[in-house]
Amino acid sequence: MDDKPSNRRETLAGAAIRLRGAVAMVIAAAAGALAATMAVSRLPADKFMWTGFVLLPFFVLVEVFLRPLAGLFGGNPMLTRMMLVSAIVAGFYGAWFLLQLH
Q: How many beta carbons lie within 10 A of that of residue 12, not counting itself?
A: 10
pLDDT greater than 90 at residue 60: yes
Residue-level pLDDT at 10: 57
Q: How many beta carbons lie within 10 A of that of residue 38, not counting itself?
A: 12
DSSP 3: H
Q: How many beta carbons lie within 10 A of that of residue 43, not counting itself?
A: 16
Q: How far apart, in whole angstroms, are the C-alpha atoms of residue 67 and residue 71?
A: 7
Residue-level pLDDT at 16: 67
Q: How far apart, in whole angstroms, are the C-alpha atoms of residue 43 and residue 70?
A: 33
Task: Note if the pTM is more than 0.85.
Answer: no
